[in-house]
Structure 1
Amino acid sequence: MQHEEMPGVLAHVGENVRRYRTVAQLSQVALADRAGISRRTVVKLEAGEANISLTGLDHLADALGVTFVDLVAAPAAPHADISEVAWRGDQAGSVAVLLASVPAAKEAQLWAWTLEPGDRYDAEPDPVGWSEMLFVSEGSIRVEQQDGSTDLHAGDHLVFPTSQQYAYANVADTRARFARIVVS
């Protein structure tokens, strides 16, 4: 997640991290060590003041033995209807909304993304075995991977493993909208 303005999802992250950490009987230091993040980040997250990447949230979830969705969703929200903003780009209209999640080997997540012209999302590699499915509904995006780039236009789709560096970029002059399904 970028920007100093915190999306509403962080309100749930702090509460959920504290709740799951307490259940796991972990100190903030022990959780930070397990997740490979700083203790200060854990403290600030629990206070609702930290900004953390999507990958950082994945690491916290793994360290707590829960899913990404368990951390970002409202405690009572059904996974079929999450609808939480989890990422904002540099342009005001660029946003990723986690819509839903269903079980998979670990889980599957359905996202609605909007990228304004000139904006991009740079991802860190996921664990081996994770994949993404993309479907562009408006405009076009460029998916940059280690082995090259693929331009997708409205109606196009792409499935690829995410155990590599990758990015989404809107290199066009119009807004792009696409669905992203993360399967782990």
Structure 2
Amino acid sequence: MADVLVHVGANVRRLRAAAGLSQAALAEASGLSRRLIVAVEAGDANISLANLDRLAGVLGVDFGTIVRDPGQAGNQRVDQLGWRGMHPDSRAAFLGAAPARNTAELWIWSLGAGDRYDALPDAEGWREMLYVVEGVLIVETAGGGKVVTTGDFLIFDSSQSYSYVNAGQSIVRFVRNVVS
């Protein structure tokens, strides 16, 4: 599985040029700094998933188009590493996307012992569906924490800040579907 930043840089540069935008114009439209846009296009930026989604929106494409291997355009399978945590067992792989009302994404996540992922709110109308394959996942939202154990699932509105937390001593693995 290739590192997503390698593909993001090539895709952002190609899509920005096709849209006739300068790096400064893309930065202004997305609310990101020009320095970050330059670093993203060079494949050097550790950009958040939320900011990748913002770039996709400005460029008029879905998240999968931004992170997909440019040689795999049109393929629903993405299979790209999208996030690494502090613990070596913590990572998220964006597996694929399929059309929905707007879009649907399939991810496989793992969080090492004591690690967490803090997310910014998605756009209104987005939902997450999580299925825990191994361990115990805590999902924190403004409404409190929900504990999801192995074999159980949770569906929630992700247009709010939320966090995935592994408070245990062993790895937690879960499948994440994001739909709009």
TM-score bucket (shorter structure): over 0.9
Shift of 1:110: 0.3
CA displacement, residues 46-77 of structure 1 (integer Å, 9 cap, x when unaligned): 11111110000000000100111100010122
Q: Which amino acid aligns with 1:106?
A: N
1:93 to 89, 95, 98: 89
Shift of 1:80: 2.7
1:4 maps to: none
C-alpha RMSD over aligned residues: 1.0
Q: How does 1:1-184 map to 2 (within 5 A)?
A: 8-77=3-72, 78-184=74-180
Cα distance in 1 for residues equivalent to 2:62 and 2:13: 15
User: When the two structures are superposed, what TM-score results if normalisation uses the length of structure 2?
Assistant: 0.96
Q: Which amino acid aligns with 2:140?
A: E
Shift of 1:79: 3.9
Displacement over 3 Å in runs of 4+ = none
Unaligned runs of 5+ in 1: 1-6
Percent identity (aligned)? 49
CA displacement, residues 101-145 of structure 1 (integer Å, 9 cap, x when unaligned): 111121100000011110000000011100000000101110001
Cα distance in 1 for residues equivalent to 2:28 and 2:95: 30
Cα distance in 1 for residues equivalent to 2:161 and 2:171: 24
Shift of 1:24: 0.3
Shift of 1:156: 0.6
User: When the two structures are superposed, what TM-score results if normalisation uses the length of structure 1?
Assistant: 0.94
Q: Which amino acid aligns with 1:115?
A: L
Q: Which moved more, 1:28-37 or 1:71-80?
A: 71-80
